Chain A
Amino acid sequence: MSTVAGVLIQTTPGAGPRVAARLAAEPGLTLAGGDGDSRLAAVWEARDGATLEVLAERLLAADAEILGIFPTFVGDD
């Protein structure tokens, strides 16, 4: 069982590329696109289906350039 989520990551203006670079090393997260400025599209895979929210909370707390993480899809495998 695992969880797969589509998410839109909203950053402060102009910070999209910087945040994308930092997220590149984030386990389970695959960047799918961005608008080059402040929004990133990503697919997030969490192994046990219970860590997605923890990851989101950690990123929101740790990265001041991330303003919000909005799921666009959540599904269980």
Chain B
Amino acid sequence: MSSMNRREFLKTTAAASALIALGSRAQAAPADPPGLFWTKSVCRYCGTGCGLYVGVKDGRVVSVKGDTDNHNAGFLCLKGFLLPQIMRAPDRLGHPLVRKGGGFVQTSWEEAMALVAARFRTAIDRYGPDAVGFYGSGQGLTEETYAANKLFKAGIRTNNVDGNPRLCMASAVGGYVSTYGKDEPMGCYEDIDHADVILLIGSNTSEAHPILFRRIVKRKQTGKDVKVVVLDPRRTPTSRVADLHISFTPGTDLAILNAMANVLFAEGFVDEAFVAKHVAFGEGADVNKTLADYRAFLAEYTPAKAAAVSGARAEDIVTAARWFGEKGRTAMSMWTMGLNQRTKGVWANNLVHNLHLVTGKIGKPGSTPFSLTGQPNACGGVRDGGALSHTLPYGRVVANEKHRAEMEKLWNVPAGTIAPKPGLATIDMFRALEEGKLKALWIMCTNPAQSLPNADRYRRALRREGAFVVVTEAFHPTRTSELADVVLPAALWAEKEGVYGCGERRYQLLEKSIAPLAEARPDLEILCDLAKRLGHGALLPWRSPAEVWDELRAASRGTAYDFDGMTRERLRQSHGMLWPVPAEGHAGTKRRYVKGDDPLVPADSADRILFYGRPDRKAVVWLRPQKAPEEVVDAEYPFWFTTGRVIEHWHTGTMTRNCKELRQANYESLAELHQDDAIALGVQSGDAVRITSRRGSEVFKVRVVDTARKGVVFVHMHDPNHMCNRITIDAVDPASRQPEFKICAVKVGKA
């Protein structure tokens, strides 16, 4: 194709694609050029799980296009569209590396794996199975995460299996489990299309989940008097569609949520029949309270008091509650890291669920509490797959004898194989490495030396004398692989096959499109190799990811997650399916706990909803008081520090910083300051400031913005050269063990 023809082709294709997105069919897309074929896949980035097709020509990924038959209706954000660029990025790792002397040397797979197996075997033999650990990822494929979980918990016999979903979703899990008895959202993305009120709290949806934001915008513009309420200390781009933006002092939103509940009761928005039939009440860890106790608890949370605590306006809190509670209208809440990354994260989640439960706005199209997810397979692989230190696959927990016995039978290992004590959660795992208790650590598909809070502390732990760290990664160097003893080249995204499970319980197949780069291998193959070398090859006997999937279906059978009917072939043919899918003839479940939709609710159930996750078949409204974050501002550290995402980049930037277009925007983390704060500090945009917490400091350039809350400094998390996590706090929620990335106290000075 000549240059001119190629250009005309691109312009015609671009115009056609935009017009099709607009809904116009006037211009059809031109035919594909010769030699191009498409494979079905899922976006590699956030937890929205956008379906797409990978364009392959001459053995290379050359293009992607959105799947018009999937929930994203063919739309992708720019990050997704630029995925082809990450496949041949200059820092793709193609060969095993072993640390020798002061640096890395390229070696063979045989030498690298022999070394790794010997070091793990030595650690286990000398110090016991709990001397080793696995730290995985919400980006690994379901089959890969399952293999690691099985190898470590049933082969090596340690529960030291955790992953980065602990950093982003653990409090959402805690919220769902404590309220409904089971994890994961009960609703689906389609609920956005039916919502009359959309409450976004702790979520910059516009930038972190742009395709869902597009759906919200569409609903706002096509629905009747749809109200959007945004609760966020910052006035992010998400607020552009808000009818009401409530800004507040970081860490005070529990008071606001309780005050909203107070208004719901005071103004008659409570669905008393629903509450009487479906709701129990609890405090602490016990379900031992009454409706009267709850009303008494809420009495002190007047809008005026919440306003005084939070710095929000009392009338705005009242308005938000009235909109949410108005009878005959639906209400959907969505939240993400602003609630989860907190030492009171589970409590904050509980308080959102409370609003739905007292109004009965739950389990109906447009009425649902929906936790948005940050990674493409945090839900499917790690949460559902039970690859955290206290969990086992599909709702089981290691502390439950019956659950252990079920998994031991499924895994065909002797009774008593799985240890009854939970292993180390993420922060505890890296502290054990620091203390010398953890001798060998396997890190797969994640970058903790940049993404952990108080990062310098754990960077030192990774290089501690005597610690042995293996990193399997598609890219090198990352801020973690640079500290490893062995770096193994992992196949990336379109180079392998597997399943991702996104935020709405939708499982989707990623087909293999091309061969792995150089000597890179899928993580599943690498883990099977390790298992053989450690004498556990019989536990991981699979010849393909499809064989793993059949075992996973069996593990889900009879549980609340049951996807036994989701065969590999059905996944291949479909555009994703929402579990439960208990039989091959079942189409999937849009809304859980709902009669006529959820197959686990008996058809003759007396009510439209059945919260079967708990023994009493009720959901719990929890009495959760306002509590301050772990660290608050004071005279020495007078600014609140908070971190988050921007639309152009993702996580630690290992992928997006390889895309030339994305390098042009928001490449460097800047310190966003309110103009009054900038004036007081004597700085302006472009000046350098040093931000210091009790843990560490980093220098950033200033960006003065009119969207910041006075006294709050925001920095994005995607820059490995200006790491915000040198500053963040590693205090954790006592229930979920999730760190409080979102809030700490800092001082800011000219650098």
Give me the interface of A with B, judged by CB distance under 8 Å: 2-8, 10, 12-13, 30, 32-35, 37-45, 49-54, 56-57, 60, 64, 67-68, 70-75, 77
Among A37, A41, A68, contact of B19 (Cβ-Cβ < 8 Å):
A41
Contact A8 B21 (CB under 8 A): yes
Q: Given A33, A39, A50, A73, which contacts B14 in the complex, CB threshold below 8 Å?
A: A73
CB closest chain-B residue, reference A40: B22
The answer to the question of B39 belonging to the interface, with a C-beta cut-off of 8 Å to chain A, is no
Kindly provide the distance from the CB of A28 to the nearest chain B CB, expressed in whole angstroms: 11
Q: Is the CB of B221 within 8 A of A38?
A: yes
The smallest C-beta distance from B226 to any residue of chain A, in angstroms, reads 11
**A6–B22 CB distance below 8 A:** no
CA distance A27 to B140 in the complex (A): 42
Q: How far apart are A7's CB and chain B's nearest CB, in angstroms? A: 6
| 14 A/B residue pairs, CB under 8 Å, sorted by A | A4-B7, A6-B17, A32-B15, A33-B18, A33-B22, A33-B26, A37-B221, A40-B22, A68-B213, A72-B21, A72-B66, A73-B18, A74-B81, A75-B13
Q: Does B664 have its Cβ within 8 Å of any Cβ on chain A?
A: yes
Given contacts A41-B24, A74-B82, contact A6 B14 (CB under 8 A): yes
Q: Which residues of B contact A4 (CB under 8 A)?
A: 7, 10-11, 14
Q: Which of B206, B214, B661 is close to A53, meaning CB atoms less than 8 Å apart?
A: B661
Q: Which of B71-79, B603-611, B621-629, B691-699 contacts A (4 or more CB under 8 A)?
A: B71-79
Report yes or no: B217 in contact with A67, Cβ–Cβ below 8 A: yes
B240 touching A12 by the CB < 8 A rule?
yes
What's the Cα separation between A15 and B666 when bound, in Å?
27
Bound CA–CA A72/B23 (angstroms): 12
With CB as the reference atom, state the residue of chain B lying closest to A65: B240
Tell me which residues across on chain B come within 8 A of A8, comparing CB atoms: 18, 21-22, 75
CA distance A67 to B63 in the complex (A): 26
Cα A74 to Cα B74 with chains together (Å): 13
A73 to B125, CA, bound (A): 55
Q: Kindly identify which residue among A32, A50, A64 contacts B240, using a CB–CB cutoff of 8 Å.
A: A64
CB distance from B55 to the nearest CB of A (A): 10
Closest to B666 in A: A57
B206 CB contacts on chain A under 8 angstroms? 67-68
A75 to B14, Cβ gap below 8 A?
A: yes
Flag whether B460 is at the interface (Cβ < 8 A): no
Q: Which residues of B contact A34 (CB under 8 A)?
A: 22
Verify A68–B18 contact, CB threshold 8 A.
Answer: no
Q: Are A50 and B664 in contact (CB under 8 A)?
A: yes
Q: Which residues of B contact A35 (CB under 8 A)?
A: 22-23
Closest chain B residue, CB of each to CB of A77: B7
The CB with the most chain B CB atoms within 10 A, among A4, A35, A50, A56, is that of A4
> Which residues of chain B are within 8 angstroms of A71 by Cβ–Cβ distance?
76-78, 81
Contacting pair B660 A50 (CB below 8 A):
yes
> Known contacts being A70-B210, A72-B21, A73-B18, is A53 close to B665, with CB within 8 Å?
yes
With A4-B11, A35-B22, A68-B214 known, 11 other A-B pairs at CB within 8 A are A6-B15, A7-B18, A8-B18, A40-B22, A43-B18, A51-B661, A67-B241, A72-B17, A72-B66, A73-B13, A74-B82
- The 4 tightest CB contacts between A and B, nearest first, are A6-B14, A41-B18, A72-B17, A6-B18
Number of interface residues of B (CB under 8 A): 47
Residues in B neighbouring A3, C-beta threshold 8 A? 661
**Separation of A57 and B213 alpha carbons in the complex (Å):** 17
Judging by beta carbons under 8 Å apart, are A67 and B240 in contact?
Answer: yes
List chain B positions with a Cβ less than 8 A from chain A. 3, 6-7, 10-11, 13-24, 26-27, 63, 65-66, 74-78, 81-82, 206, 210-211, 213-214, 217, 221, 237, 240-241, 648, 660-666
- Closest chain B CB from A10 CB (angstroms): 6
- Smallest beta-carbon distance A35→chain B, Å: 6
CA distance A45 to B6 in the complex (A): 13
Q: Which residues from chain B contact A37 at a C-beta distance below 8 Å?
A: 221
Most buried by A among B6, B14, B660: B14
A5 to B, closest residue via Cβ:
B14
List the A residue with the shortest CB-CB distance to B55: A75
Q: Are A42 and B18 touching (Cβ within 8 A)?
A: yes
Residues of A within 8 A of B63 (CB): 75
Q: Which of A30, A60, A74 has the most CB of B within 10 A?
A: A74
Closest residue of chain A to B80 (Cβ to Cβ) is A71
With A12-B240, A33-B19, A53-B665 as contacts: A68 and B14 at CB distance below 8 Å: no
Partner of B21, one of A41, A49, A52, A60: A41
Closest A residue to B6 by beta carbon equals A77
What chain A residues lie within 8 Å of B7 (beta carbons)?
A: 2, 4, 77
Contact between chains at B665 and A68 (CB < 8 Å) = no
A73 to B664, CA, bound (A): 19
Contacts A8-B21, A60-B237, A64-B240 given; does A41 touch B665 at CB 8 Å: no
Are the CB atoms of A41 and B22 closer together than 8 Å?
yes
Contact: B661 with A70, CB < 8 Å?
no
**CB <8 Å contact, B24 and A33:** yes
Chain A residues whose CB sits within 8 angstroms of the CB of B76 once the complex forms: 70-71
In the complex, what distance in Å separates the CA atom of A38 from the CA atom of B78?
20
Give the shortest distance, in Å, between B235 (CB) and chain A (any CB): 12
Query: How many whole Å from B307's CB to the nearest CB in chain A?
Result: 28
Please tell me which one of the listed residues B3, B65, B648, B663 contacts residue A73 in the complex, with CB atoms under 8 A apart: B65
The answer for the CA separation of A10 and B75 in the assembled complex, in Å, is 12
Chain B neighbourhood of A13, CB < 8 A:
221
Residues of B with C-beta under 8 A to A52:
78, 661
Q: Using CB atoms, name the residue of chain B closest to A14.
A: B221
A53 to B77, CA, bound (A): 11
Closest to B663 in A: A50
What are the residues of chain A within 8 A of B24 when measuring CB–CB?
33, 41
Please indicate the chain A residues that have their CB under 8 angstroms from the CB of B6 in the complex.
77
CB distance from B546 to the nearest CB of A (A): 32
Whether A50 and B661, one on each chain, are in contact in the complex, defined by CB atoms closer than 8 angstroms, is yes
In the bound complex, CA of A40 to CA of B66 (Å) = 18
Whether B214 and A10, one on each chain, are in contact in the complex, defined by CB atoms closer than 8 angstroms, is yes
Distance A5 CA – B76 CA, assembled complex (angstroms): 13
Q: Which residues of A contact B15 (CB under 8 A)?
A: 6, 30, 32, 41, 43
Query: In the complex, what's the smallest C-beta–C-beta distance from B193 to chain A, in angstroms?
Result: 16
